């Protein structure tokens, strides 16, 4: 028989109010697990009692929830348009912003080393905990509960898209257009590193501009990481007059 782990006081305090993303948990232990980073589990001898498995589940649930909403809200959109919209919504930056808005950054349990390295402010850490909490909501209340949470958290974005697809292009497409206009050539992407466990890999990529400058980003999938790298490149180029390129 496995030994039951006694929960430290700080962990119990973290889940005193067993709700997140507008969902009230019937099983508080699921929220507790979703808010526990692997670094905290390692330091406290909690073994596998951390949020990586829920993150794996939550990523799939998030994509399905967002896809269903976009499919219903924009009946005239083509597959490519829906894919670009979903990519914008589930980007690392977008999810980290939502995690902060929902106060998940303050409730997340981190190990001391991760805390010292600024993990609580890191977009990759916060996007992961957002996905983990959504996975916990799905495990606690099913797809309908997860869908309600997603629609609530992204509520300020849905109204813009009701009935028709927005005109905005995804970051990779926009970067291609900017580079073609400024340099007469396209940016190139490279996978630098693929780390982390099999169920929750972390991809590090670079995007190299035609003038030789390189920018970097990380993400839970190669496509997501490339999207973030393109966003970083666009921000850099936006600060420069086109004549300076």
Any idea what the CATH number is for the domain that residue 234 is in?
Answer: 3.30.160.20
Are both 178 and 123 inside the same structural domain? Answer: no
Are both 143 and 205 inside the same structural domain? Answer: no
Q: What is the CATH number of the domain that holds 148?
A: 1.10.1520.10
Residue pair 175/230 in contact by the 8 Å Cβ criterion: yes
CA dihedral 85, 91, 95, 98 (to 10 degrees): -50
Q: Of 142, 161, 180, which marks where a domain is finished?
A: 161
Residue 2 lies in a domain: no
Q: Of 127, 161, 195, which marks where a domain is finished?
A: 161
Range of the structural domain that residue 109 is part of: 9-161
Are both 103 and 215 inside the same structural domain? Answer: no
Are both 38 and 137 inside the same structural domain? Answer: yes
Residue 1 lies in a domain: no
181-203 CB burial, b ≥16 within 10 A, e <16: ebeeeebebeeeeeeeeeebebb
Task: Write the pLDDT tens digit of every residue in 142-155.
Answer: 999 999 999 988 88
Are both 155 and 230 inside the same structural domain? Answer: no
Report the predicted TM-score, pTM, of the whole model to 2 decimal places: 0.63
Are both 136 and 230 inside the same structural domain? Answer: no
Please give the structure tokens belonging to residue 216: 């970097």
Residue pair 148/138 in contact by the 8 Å Cβ criterion: no
Task: Write the pLDDT tens digit of every residue in 34-71.
Answer: 998 888 777 777 777 788 899 999 999 999 999 999 88
Are both 40 and 105 inside the same structural domain? Answer: yes
Are both 16 and 106 inside the same structural domain? Answer: yes
Task: Write the pLDDT tens digit of every residue in 95-151.
Answer: 988 898 888 888 888 888 777 888 788 888 889 999 999 999 999 999 999 999 999
Distance of CA 31 to the CA centre of its chain: 18
Q: Count up the domains in the chain and report the number.
A: 2
Please give the structure tokens belonging to residue 54: 């829920």
Are both 55 and 149 inside the same structural domain? Answer: yes
């Amino acid at each position: 028989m496995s030994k039951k782990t006694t929960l430290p006081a700080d962990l119990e305090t973290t889940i005193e109010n067993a709700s997140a993303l507008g969902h009230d948990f019937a099983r508080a232990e699921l929220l507790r697990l979703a808010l526990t980073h692997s670094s905290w589990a390692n330091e406290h001898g909690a073994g596998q009692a951390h949020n990586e498995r829920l993150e794996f589940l939550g990523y799939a649930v998030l994509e399905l929830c967002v896809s269903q909403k976009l499919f219903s809200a924009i009946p005239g959109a083509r597959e490519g348009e829906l894919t670009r919209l979903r990519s914008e919504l589930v980007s690392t930056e977008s999810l980290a912003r939502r995690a902060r808005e929902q106060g998940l950054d303050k409730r997340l349990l981190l190990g001391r080393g991760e805390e010292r390295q600024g993990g609580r402010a890191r977009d990759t850490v916060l996007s992961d905990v957002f996905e983990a909490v959504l996975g916990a909501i799905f495990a606690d209340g099913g797809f309908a509960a997860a869908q309600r949470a997603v629609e609530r958290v992204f509520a300020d974005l849905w109204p813009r898209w009701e009935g028709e697809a927005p005109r905005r292009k995804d970051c990779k497409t926009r970067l291609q257009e900017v580079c073609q206009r400024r340099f007469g050539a396209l940016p190139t992407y490279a996978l630098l590193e693929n780390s982390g466990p099999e169920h929750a890999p972390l991809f590090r990529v670079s995007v190299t501009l035609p003038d030789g400058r390189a920018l970097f980003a990380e993400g839970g999938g190669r496509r997501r990481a490339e999207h973030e790298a393109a966003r970083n490149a666009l921000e850099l180029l936006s600060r420069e007059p086109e004549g300076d390129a």
